[in-house]
Amino acid sequence: MTADVDFGDDGLVPAVAQDTNSGEVLMMAYVSPAALERTRETGRAHYYSRSRDELWEKGATSGHTQAVREVRIDCDGDALLYLVEQAGGACHTGYHSCFYRTIDDETVGERVFDPDEAYGDGDGDGNG
């Protein structure tokens, strides 16, 4: 039996990616029914880009992939948690986690790659 996911009026549900080994929160993105299906089929994280209006596989451009070890759903069925093994950085800006700075704009995370090299065109569109 599969839990019911409430994809809401826009057909999307937020998904948090968390490192399965360290517990560090890596990123948050949106998931469509098709993205969730592709994630479950392939074992690799897939998300939905609202800005480009398309499905995307994490790391398809940069090589910084997420192997999904487990997908959890919250009690209301309207949020997902991807427990992942992250290869390289999760953030398109080059940091290991998208949550690399405090609200006071202090950098607290580690930069692990150069986005210009990873994406080639240097657009840093966040879909690596």
pLDDT averaged per 10 residues in sequence order, the chain, 128 residues: 90 98 97 98 97 95 95 97 96 94 96 88 49
pTM, two decimal places = 0.88
| Greatest pairwise CA separation for the chain in angstroms | 45
Q: Phi then psi for 22, rounded to 5 degrees?
A: -95, -20
- Helix (H/G/I), strand (E/B), else coil: 34: helix
Q: Specify whether the CB–CB gap between 25 and 97 falls below 8 A.
A: yes
pLDDT tens digit sequence for 47-78: 999 999 999 999 998 899 999 999 999 999 99
Beta-ladder partners of 17 = 27, 82
- H/E stretch holding 37 reads helix 33-42
